[in-house]
Amino acid sequence: MELSPLKILKDVYGYYRFRDRQEEIISAILNGRDAVVLMPTGGGKSICFQIPALCKPGFAVVFSPLIALMKDQVDALRLSGVQARYLNSTQTQSEQMEVVRELNEGKIKLLYLAPERVNDRFWDFLAPHKVSLFAIDEAHCISHWGHDFRPDYRILGEIKNQFPHVPIAAFTATADKKTREDILSNLNLHQPKIFVSSFNRPNIRYIIEDKKNSFSKLLDFLEGQTDESGIIYCLSRKSTEGLAVDLRNHGFKAMHYHAGLNQEKRGQVQDLFAKDEIKIIVATIAFGMGINKSNVRFVVHMDLPKNIESYYQETGRAGRDGLESTALLFYSYADVIKLKRFVEIDDNPEQSEIMLQKLDDLSKMCNFRVCRRKFILNYFDEKANDYCGNCDFCLNEFTEQEATIQAQMALSAVVRLRERFGISYVIDFLRGSASQKIKPFHREIPTFGVGEKWSQNQWYQVVKSLIQQNYLARDGGKYPVLKLTEKSGDILRGREKFYFYIKKEKVLTAVEDKPGELPFEKDLFERLRVLRKKLADEEGVPPFVVFSDKTLRDLATFQPQNLEEMLNISGFGQVKLQKYGRHFLDEVTSYTELHGKSSPTPLRKKVTSSQRKSTSPSDTLLETKRLIKAGLNTEEIAAERGLAESTVEKHLAYWLAQKEAPLDQFVNPEVIELIKNACQTHDILKLKPLKDYLGAKVSYRDLKFYRARSKGIAG
């Protein structure tokens, strides 16, 4: 008799309700349908194939790309009372024979394997058994167009021929349209159901910083991440080794990881990180695929990734438990130039063009004045608001800088070069580069080197801003060139001034608890972390396998006083309650006896992810809107909500842009009329010249609010 998915969710995983589309996905698989599931890292993909395996007779075969991921998932399942095993190259022959014996005796419900184990003998091995499901994790690896193509995955296309009536479920966190089509084609799926969950990770704060003085900025950032786990990505092996040494010299528990280390050393470093013995891994992209560690609080990119898919997947290794986490990227145009050489493939011009376009898309995200989250979600064909409230663009203020002369230089260079060259060449021409790629007759042009005083990155900012403001255009093709537009003449002839925007410098800090976050006892949380580590060491598993940080936070928030209340904490299923309940209950009750129960929140029902998750950006916007409707001004709203007035002003600009707030409540009607009249001769999109024209009568704040209301631009 098949068990209820909801009962398994409660008893095994300790949750009382499914998230997002989990229940729908599980239902499709249980009904025998093939499925392709796109769900963000930390979105609960594993439950979507583990629960069907536990519901149906027989066992599920799970293909997973990395040994470490298999071990973590199997350890976690076994601690929850699930019969799970893996077969891989780390096991001795006798250990593998033991797994086969248990399989023959019907003692296994989930069998984890790497795709490279699949051959003709493998199909013969499976033939006599009752296979309930084939689950393929990291399914984008099967696509030649995916960012992490693995040839071994292609053999999985044979599954449907060998087992035509067994459902196949393919899971990935990152796949554009072309990659999705490739997954469907290569796996030979039969009328699959496609599930695309939101790519949004609201708990991750996206920050992009100029790469200048990046190590100093990194140290500032890490000072706010005391005793938290994080991954720092570098482009080269040498960089990982050097940065790890520098961090250790500054007192951080850091080690490096790259493909040049032997397998034993890589396993050792990964194990130390999983068990919280070291806090920071400095790695190349060789580290991380399939990392199951749920309490990674930050991911830093010291160098630019190759595309948005890679960036999204790597940043997605932070905050898998749903708690606030940070993704920090250091950007420079020099990295773009360097990566162009890596992604160009001489024998495959079609794929080379795709990779160059993907790199250009990532570069746009770093340069354009746009919400980072919106850019990422739009890239994956998902709509998003202009304001997310949790990225450096939405949280920072920008100042305008005039660069009319530099803009004229850049446009003139495009003219002199007859609109036949791309950004890199134009910038090298402006700076008077000694590079051999500059044609000799171009060095004879009088304006060659006219912009030598500006850095490569500064020129890149100007050119990108010219493109974004439609004073320059880029044509298509593998090597796009710069072209003038109808608007170019306004700058060249001095009819308009040119401005670009500079982000105000802010010290990088850890993500603080957001307004609306339920209060928790930090001292109790630390005591629970120590207890978890002790129990995990006794079991020989990573601490997060015992319980996630989220579960410990809930314990420190609600402070249950008996085992019945403990069952209402997310993460406590029947098996884990029996195994660990008394240990954690004793820690909580001893703390509350000493300090008193400080949390006013009663434990009446199961704590769901929606209850314990911090206020989302949309929620905080709605709260500001409520106070706007109540007639409060920005200063009063800021005081009421405990927010900076600049944050409230961003919220208000958003609602003004949506036509959901009255402009005259916040801008004097006489000032509105002044701005309206000035806009007959001045462009509202260029605030500084408009401010210079209007003088002290009008503030930048007034102009931004008017622009939001009239043009629908909240930024």
3-state secondary structure of 503: strand
Q: What are the start-end ranges of the E strands in 259-370?
A: 280-283, 296-301, 325-331
pLDDT for 43? 78
pLDDT band at 145 (very low <50, low <70, confident <90, very high): low
Average pLDDT over residues 292-302: 92
Is the predicted pLDDT of residue 613 greater than 60, yes or no?
no
Contacts of 712 (CB under 8 A, 6+ apart): 657, 658
Q: Which domains does the chain have, with CATH numbers?
A: 5-196 (3.40.50.300), 204-396 (3.40.50.300), 399-502 (1.10.10.10), 522-612 (1.10.150.80), 617-711 (1.10.10)
Residue 688 pLDDT > 50: yes
Q: What is the pTM of this model?
A: 0.75
Token pair, residue 649, equals 């002003």
Tokens of 97: 């024979």
Terminal-residue alpha carbon distance, the chain: 57
Mean pLDDT of 665-689: 85
From start to end of 84-157, where are the E strands? 84-87, 110-113, 131-136
What pLDDT score was predicted for residue 551?
93
Burial 610-620, CB ≥16 within 10 A → b, else e: eebbbbbbebb
Q: CA-to-CA distance for 413 and 472, rounded, in angstroms? A: 12
Confidence (pLDDT) at 614:
38
Higher pLDDT, 637 or 204: 204
- Residue 407 CB contacts under 8 Å (≥ 6 apart), including other chains: 462, 466, 471, 491, 498
* Window from 301-305, 478-482, 509-513, 560-564 with minimum mean pLDDT: 509-513
169 beta partners: 35, 135
CA distance 309 to 330: 17
Per the CB < 8 A criterion, the answer to whether 651 and 390 are in contact is no
Please give the Cα distance from 595 to 472 (Å, whole number): 65
Model confidence band, residue 345 (pLDDT cutoffs 50, 70, 90): low
Q: Is 63 in a helix, a strand, or coil?
A: strand
Mean pLDDT for 431-435 is: 91
Mean pLDDT of 547-574: 90
Helix or strand holding residue 195 (H, E) = strand 193-196
For the chain, what percent of residues have pLDDT higher than 90?
Answer: 39
φ, ψ at 564 (rounded to 5°): -65, -45
Residue 332 has which token pair? 């420079």
Place of tokens 């040119």: 498
Residue 38 backbone dihedrals phi, psi, to 5 degrees: -105, 115
Alpha carbons 409 and 663: distance in angstroms, whole number: 40
